[in-house]
Amino acid sequence: MYSYQDVLAEVLIDETTLQKRVKELGEEISRDYQNEDIVFICILRGGVVFLIDLMRHVTVPNQIEFMAVSSYGVGTRKSNGEVRITYDLNTNIEGRNVIIVEDIVDSGNTLNAVIQVLSTRNPKSLCICTLLDKEDRREVEIPIRYCGFVIPDKFVYGYGLDLDDYFRNLPFIGVVDLEKLEKIKGKK
């Protein structure tokens, strides 16, 4: 196994900047949903770290739910195009304000499929809150209401985002040095 430093090209978003922006998003959501309640639906697994920090800054009543959706194979950096719901909600969202919490929006295909499924369940409102947006990679229009950062088309990890299912615990967003990663994987 290698360490995160072995493949870190740069720190794209440091811990202080991340936490400041997450707090701002929580405050914005609280203002927008004053006198309302929210159901946060976290897309597992990457969105968990972001959700936990975000909800600490939300002052309106809220519940959390989880969905697991897969479109990536282990060890890949590209979606295979097939979207599967591997874990579904346990809560009825009909008539509720729903905010989908996502770690990163890339092509938009996976999130578009989630939006289509959840829309059939008749929520009062449905919107997206993403930590990261790779808008240059978008293939499908996604109505993002709350966005932490628009980032360039780089392979990132940390703060919930994984690299081969590791390093979600890093307090910052790092960029993977793909050449170093390939060298390390070639030695195995």
* Angstrom distances, CA of residue 56 to CA of 93, 98, 173: 22, 17, 20
CB proximity list for 103: less than 8 A, separation 6 or greater: 43, 46, 47, 49, 50, 130, 131, 132, 159, 160, 161
Q: Is 106 a catalytic residue?
A: yes
- In angstroms, the CA 23 to CA 54 distance is 7
Q: Which two tokens stand for residue 140?
A: 């499908």
Residue among 157, 180, 181 nearest 170 (CA): 157
Instruction: Give the active site residue among 106, 133, 164, 177.
Output: 106
Max alpha carbon distance in the chain (Å)?
Answer: 57
Q: Which two tokens stand for residue 138?
A: 């978008």
Catalytic residues: 106
